[in-house]
RNA sequence: CGGGGUGUAGCGCAGUUUGGUAGCGCAUUGCGUUUGGGACGCAAGGGCCGCAGGUUCAAAUCCUGUCACCCCGACCA
C-alpha cells in the first residue's frame, strides 16, 4: 500500500460524536466512517483489520470441522413467524416490505435459517453431528446505538450452530466450540473472562459468555477470587441457605404501623414501637413485595409480585432475563385500581399466589427459605405483620433471581465473597436444545427408524465489535497500537525525504526496502508522499498504529535506517544492507 | 421511552443574547520559501446557516411547527 494513493484521510481532531477512544481513533486514523447512527463504512485500512479478525475466527472454526456457508441478510417473514420470533424479537428487528407488500426482515441472527437448511438437506442420524457457520452482517434496530462500531445497528458476526442427535452429542459440540473460542480470543489478544450467562432471547439452557474485560464495559459480572466462579449478574444464582426448623417460633401478629409506606419508614417505626431485644431492626428483616406488570409477546398483561429482603432492590436486568420473553412494565396507579387487593406500600403474601383468590403470581428471592421470619405488609394501609414465617404462614409460587447482586455477596459455589467487574460481550455460546428444532420440525430418523428431534447449540462471535474492542485495549495518547496479528500491515515505512528529485536516495532506498519486504511475504504500508513534512508522517504513522515503523531518511547519510517499535517507542538503527533481515526478525 | 444538549463549508467550531451582504482553525487547490516531530507567506475553491411556515424593509439570529443527531438513563448479541 502506497500512502500517496491509498484511500485515506486522517483527521487531526476528534469527531464530535465520538466519545470512546476506539471510536475516536478508528475515525481519525481513517479506518471507518459513520454513515448513519450505528452504521459504518469500512475504509481500506479498516477493512484489512476486519478481514484479519474474520480470518482468525474462520481458521479456528474450520479447525473444529465447522463448515462455512452464507445465508442472505434479507429474509422472509415465515421462518421467524414459525419460531415465534417475528413477535418475540419485537422492535429490534428491521422489517420491510417488498412491492407486493410481503413482509421481510434483515436478519438479527439466523437460527431459523440454519435449522431449515439442515432440515432441507438431512434426514438421518448418519448425517449428524454437523456444525455450520457463517460470517455475516447482522441487523438490529438498537434502541440506542453507541460507541461507534462497539454497539452498532449493522455489525459483522460469526454465528455457528451445532446439530446433534442427543444431549451427549450437544455437550461435545459445545465443548469443541468452547475450546475454539478460547483459541480465537487468545489469538485476538484479549484479556477476557468466561462467565456463566443467561441463554436470553434464543431460549435454551447452558450458556457462557466471553467478556473482554473493560472498565467501561456494558456488562457487569461477578467473580469469586477463591474458587474461580464467574457469572454475568443476570445469571448469578443466589446461595440459598438451608431451611430452618420453625416449630418454636412465635406466631405471626398484625401490628399498627401508621405512615410506613417505605422500608426506611417501617424500620424506623419498628425500632421505636417494637424494639427487639437482641439487636435493632434492619431493612433485611423486612420482606419487600414489589409488584410489576408483565407484558407477554401476545400482548396480554399479568401482574407479578416479587418478594425480596427489604435491604435489596429488584435488579431490572436480572428480572428481565428471568421473565423473558415477557417484558417488564411499571405497575401504574390504574393497575392498582384494577387489582384492589394490592394495597400500595403494604402488600403482603396473604393475598398473593396463584392459588389465592387474586390469582396473582408470587415469587420470592431464594433467601426466603422455610423457617425465615419476616416483617411484611398486612394488605391494609398502615399495618404490617411481624414474625411471618415462610413455609408456615405463607408459601410462594416459586423463587426468582431478581434481587440485585452486590460485591461481597456469597459465592454460590464456595461461599467466599464475590467481587464485581465490567466487560464487553465478545462471544456467547449456548445450548439451544430443541426449541428451534421443534418449532421448525427438524427431525431425523435414528437407528431404530424412529423420528428424533435434533438438539442444537448456538455460538456467536462479534467480529466487528472485536475490532473496536481490540482498538479499545490497544492505544495510547498518540493513536492506535495494533497487535501484530490484527494490524492492517506488518510494517509502516516512512520516507522522510523532500521529494524524489531532491532526495532520490531516500525514496529509492525506501522503495527497495518495500519491494524486498513484500517479496518476503510482508504487507507494507509505505508512506511515499512527497513534499509532506516528516512531522506529519510520524504523526500519521503513530495514529495508524502499525506495530513496526521503519524510518528511511536523514540517518541514511550514515548508511543506516531506523526500526521503531510503536508500542514501546524503542528505536534502533541498522545498516541499510541488513535492513530486510532485521525487519523480518523484528516482525516474526 | 425519560432527562440534557446540538444542528452554520469535508472535519472541529464562533456568530444567535441586541435582526443589517457568512466567519475562524484544520483539510483541499495554485505559487514561493521550508523539510527529523502535525511549517510559513500570498492567492483560491467550497455554504439551501437541518426543514417548513410566520413576523419584518431586512432573518443564521425573533416566533410556531417539524425532522435529525449526540450524551446520560431505560432497554439490548
List, in sequence order, the alpha helices (H) in A156-258.
167-187
Identify the helix (H) or strand (E) that includes residue A469: helix A463-473
pLDDT tens for residues A361-395?
888 888 888 888 888 888 888 888 888 887 888 88
A483 CA – B39 C1', rounded, Å:
33
Average pLDDT over residues A260-268: 78
Return the pLDDT at A163. 94
Check pLDDT > 50 for residue A201: no
Q: Are A133 and A66 in contact (CB under 8 A)?
A: yes
Residue nearest to nucleotide B13 (CA to C1'): A16
Q: Which nucleotides of B are covered by protein (CB under 7 A)?
A: 1, 11-13, 25-27, 34-39, 68-77
Return the pLDDT at A202. 45
pLDDT tens for residues A84-100?
888 777 778 888 888 88
Q: Are A172 and A386 in contact (CB under 8 A)?
A: no
> Any idea which fold A21-236+420-471 has?
BirA Bifunctional Protein; domain 2 (3.30.930)
Q: Are A203 and A84 in contact (CB under 8 A)?
A: no
Query: What homologous superfamily does CATH list for A253-399?
Result: YbaK/aminoacyl-tRNA synthetase-associated domain (3.90.960.10)
Checking each nucleotide's C1' against the CA of A531, the nearest proves to be B35
pLDDT tens for residues A390-442?
788 888 788 888 888 888 787 877 878 888 888 888 998 988 888 888 888 89
Identify the helix (H) or strand (E) that includes residue A325: none
Checking each nucleotide's C1' against the CA of A219, the nearest proves to be B76
pLDDT tens for residues A551-567?
999 899 999 999 999 99
Checking each nucleotide's C1' against the CA of A479, the nearest proves to be B38
Checking each nucleotide's C1' against the CA of A29, the nearest proves to be B11
Outline which parts of chain A fall under CATH 3.90.960.10.
253-399
Checking each nucleotide's C1' against the CA of A197, the nearest proves to be B77
Outline which parts of chain A fall under CATH 3.40.50.800.
489-587
pLDDT tens for residues A449-498?
899 999 999 999 999 999 999 998 899 989 999 999 999 999 999 999 88
> How many angstroms separate the CA atoms of A111 and A61, rounded?
17
Checking each nucleotide's C1' against the CA of A426, the nearest proves to be B77
Return the pLDDT at A199. 60
Average pLDDT, chain A: 86
Residue nearest to nucleotide B28 (CA to C1'): A9
Checking each nucleotide's C1' against the CA of A155, the nearest proves to be B77
User: Any bridge partners for residue A262, and if so which?
Assistant: none
Residue nearest to nucleotide B76 (CA to C1'): A142
Give the distance from CA A395 to its chain's centroid. 36
Percentage above 90 pLDDT, chain A:
37
A13 CA – B25 C1', rounded, Å:
11
* Beta-carbon contacts of residue A372 (< 8 Å; ≥ 6 apart): A241, A244, A389, A390
Average pLDDT over residues A59-64: 96
- Cα separations in angstroms, A206 against A171, A394, A456: 10, 32, 12
Burial class from Cβ neighbours inside 10 Å (0-12, 13-18, 19+) for residue A512 reads: middle
Q: In whole angstroms, how large is the CA radius of gyration of chain A?
A: 30
Q: Read out DSSP for A122-165?
A: --BGGG-SEEEEEEEEEE---SS-BTGGGB-SEEEEEEEEEEES
* Beta-carbon contacts of residue A77 (< 8 Å; ≥ 6 apart): A86, A102, A103, A104, A105
Return the pLDDT at A563. 95
A312 CA – B31 C1', rounded, Å:
74
A304 CA – B71 C1', rounded, Å:
34
Taking the alpha carbons of A229, A235, A239, A243 in that order, is the dihedral positive or negative?
Answer: negative
List, in sequence order, the alpha helices (H) in A37-110.
44-63, 78-83, 85-88
Return the pLDDT at A568. 94
Query: What homologous superfamily does CATH list for A489-587?
Result: Anticodon-binding domain (3.40.50.800)
Return the pLDDT at A561. 94
Burial A343-356 (b: 16+ CB within 10 A, else e): bebbbbbbbbbeee
Cis peptide before A208 (omega within 30 of 0): no
A155 CA – B68 C1', rounded, Å:
22
Residue nearest to nucleotide B70 (CA to C1'): A17
Checking each nucleotide's C1' against the CA of A462, the nearest proves to be B77
A528 CA – B66 C1', rounded, Å:
50
Checking each nucleotide's C1' against the CA of A90, the nearest proves to be B76
User: Any bridge partners for residue A565, and if so which?
Assistant: A548
pLDDT tens for residues A97-151?
888 888 899 999 899 999 999 999 998 999 889 999 999 999 988 877 878 888 8
Residue among A312, A264, A265, A320 at smallest CA distance from A292: A320
A392 CA – B44 C1', rounded, Å:
90
Checking each nucleotide's C1' against the CA of A556, the nearest proves to be B36
DSSP structure class, residue A103: E
User: Any bridge partners for residue A42, and if so which?
Assistant: A32
Q: Read out DSSP for A343-388?
A: -TT---GGG-STTSSS--EEEE-TT--TT-EEEEE-SSTTEEEEEE
DSSP structure class, residue A314: B
Residue among A81, A103, A93, A82 at smallest CA distance from A138: A93
Check pLDDT > 70 for residue A447: yes
Return the pLDDT at A302. 80
A201 CA – B77 C1', rounded, Å:
9
β-strands A451-453, A418-433 pairing: unpaired
β-strands A287-295, A253-256 pairing: unpaired
* Largest pairwise CA distance in chain A: 101
Return the pLDDT at A186. 92
A314 CA – B74 C1', rounded, Å:
14
Taking the alpha carbons of A500, A505, A510, A513 in that order, is the dihedral positive or negative?
Answer: positive
A11 CA – B69 C1', rounded, Å:
21
Average pLDDT over residues A327-335: 74
Outline which parts of chain A fall under CATH 3.30.930.10.
21-236+420-471
A296 CA – B40 C1', rounded, Å:
69
A530 CA – B41 C1', rounded, Å:
21
Residue A30 has φ and ψ, to the nearest 5°, of 80, 35
Check pLDDT > 70 for residue A183: yes
Checking each nucleotide's C1' against the CA of A561, the nearest proves to be B36
> How many angstroms separate the CA atoms of A43 and A256, rounded?
70
A28 CA – B64 C1', rounded, Å:
40
Residue A478 has φ and ψ, to the nearest 5°, of -90, -25
**Structure-model confidence comparison of residues A16 and A463, the more confident one:** A463
Check pLDDT > 70 for residue A204: no
A49 CA – B39 C1', rounded, Å:
33
Check pLDDT > 80 for residue A354: no
**Structure-model confidence comparison of residues A247 and A127, the more confident one:** A127
Residue among A333, A288, A331 at smallest CA distance from A310: A288
ipTM of the complex: 0.87
Q: What is the dihedral of CA A466, A471, A474, A475, to 10 degrees?
A: -170
Check pLDDT > 70 for residue A200: no
Q: Are A431 and A408 in contact (CB under 8 A)?
A: no
Amino acid at each position: 500500500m502506497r500512502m500517496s494513493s491509498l484511500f485515506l484521510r486522517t483527521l487531526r481532531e476528534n469527531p464530535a460524536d465520538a466519545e470512546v477512544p476506539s471510536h475516536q481513533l478508528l475515525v481519525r486514523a481513517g479506518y471507518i466512517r459513520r454513515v448513519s447512527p450505528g452504521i459504518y463504512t469500512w475504509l481500506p485500512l479498516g477493512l484489512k483489520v476486519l478481514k484479519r479478525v474474520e480470518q482468525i475466527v474462520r481458521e479456528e472454526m474450520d479447525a473444529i470441522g465447522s463448515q462455512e456457508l452464507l445465508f442472505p441478510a434479507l429474509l422472509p417473514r415465515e421462518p421467524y413467524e414459525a419460531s415465534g420470533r417475528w413477535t418475540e424479537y419485537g422492535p429490534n428487528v428491521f422489517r420491510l416490505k417488498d412491492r407486493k407488500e410481503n413482509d421481510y426482515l434483515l436478519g438479527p441472527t439466523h437460527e431459523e435459517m440454519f435449522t431449515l437448511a439442515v432440515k432441507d438437506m438431512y434426514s438421518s442420524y448418519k448425517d449428524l453431528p454437523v456444525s455450520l457457520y457463517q460470517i455475516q452482517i447482522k441487523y438490529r434496530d438498537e434502541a440506542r446505538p453507541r460507541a461507534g462500531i462497539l454497539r452498532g445497528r449493522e455489525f459483522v458476526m460469526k454465528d455457528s450452530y451445532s446439530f446433534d442427535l442427543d444431549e451427549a452429542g450437544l455437550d461435545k459440540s459445545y465443548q469443541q466450540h468452547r475450546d475454539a473460542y478460547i483459541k480465537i480470543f487468545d489469538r485476538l489478544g484479549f484479556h477476557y473472562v468466561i462467565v456463566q450467562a443467561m441463554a436470553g432471547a434464543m431460549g435454551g439452557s447452558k450458556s457462557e459468555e466471553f467478556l473482554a474485560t473493560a472498565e467501561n464495559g456494558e456488562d457487569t459480572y461477578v467473580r469469586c477470587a477463591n474458587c474461580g466462579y464467574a457469572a454475568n449478574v443476570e445469571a448469578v444464582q443466589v446461595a440459598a441457605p438451608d431451611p430452618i426448623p420453625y416449630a418454636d417460633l412465635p406466631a405471626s401478629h398484625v401490628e399498627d404501623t401508621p405512615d410506613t409506606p417505605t422500608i426506611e419508614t417501617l424500620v424506623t417505626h419498628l425500632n421505636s414501637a417494637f424494639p427487639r431485644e437482641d439487636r435493632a431492626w434492619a431493612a433485611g428483616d423486612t420482606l419487600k413485595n414489589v409488584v410489576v406488570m408483565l407484558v407477554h409477546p401476545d400482548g396480554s398483561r399479568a401482574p407479578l409480585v416479587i418478594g425480596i429482603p427489604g435491604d435489596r432492590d429488584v435488579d431490572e436486568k436480572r428480572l428481565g432475563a428471568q421473565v423473558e420473553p415477557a417484558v417488564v412494565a411499571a405497575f401504574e396507579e390504574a393497575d392498582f385500581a384494577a387489582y384492589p387487593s394490592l394495597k400500595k406500600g403494604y402488600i403482603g403474601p396473604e393475598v398473593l399466589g396463584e392459588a389465592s383468590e387474586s390469582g396473582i403470581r408470587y415469587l420470592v428471592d431464594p433467601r426466603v427459605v422455610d423457617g425465615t421470619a419476616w416483617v411484611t405488609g398486612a394488605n391494609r394501609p398502615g399495618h404490617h405483620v411481624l414474625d411471618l414465617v415462610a413455609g408456615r404462614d405463607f408459601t410462594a409460587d416459586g423463587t426468582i433471581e431478581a434481587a440485585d447482586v452486590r460485591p461481597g455477596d456469597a459465592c454460590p459455589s464456595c461461599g467466599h465473597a464475590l467481587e464485581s467487574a465490567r466487560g464487553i460481550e465478545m462471544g456467547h455460546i449456548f445450548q439451544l436444545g430443541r426449541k428451534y428444532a421443534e418449532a421448525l420440525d427438524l427431525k431425523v430418523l435414528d437407528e431404530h427408524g424412529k423420528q428424533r428431534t435434533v438438539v442444537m447449540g448456538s455460538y456467536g462471535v462479534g467480529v466487528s465489535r472485536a475490532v473496536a474492542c481490540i482498538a479499545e485495549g490497544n492505544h495510547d495518547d498518540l493513536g492506535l497500537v495494533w497487535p501484530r496479528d490484527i494490524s492492517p500491515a506488518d510494517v509502516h515505512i516512512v520516507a522522510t525525504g523532500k521529494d524524489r528529485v531532491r532526495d532520490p536516495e531516500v525514496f529509492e532506498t525506501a522503495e527497495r526496502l518495500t519491494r524486498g519486504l513484500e517479496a518476503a511475504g510482508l504487507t507494507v504500508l509505505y508512506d511515499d508522499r512527497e513534499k509532506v513534512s516528516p512531522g506529519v508522517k510520524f504523526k500519521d504513522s503513530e495514529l495508524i498504529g502499525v506495530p513496526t515503523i521503519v524510518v528511511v531518511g536523514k540517518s541514511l547519510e550514515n548508511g543506516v535506517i531506523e526500526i521503531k517499535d510503536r508500542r514501546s517507542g524503542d528505536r534502533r538503527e541498522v545498516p541499510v544492507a541488513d535492513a530486510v533481515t532485521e525487519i523480518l526478525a523484528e516482525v516474526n
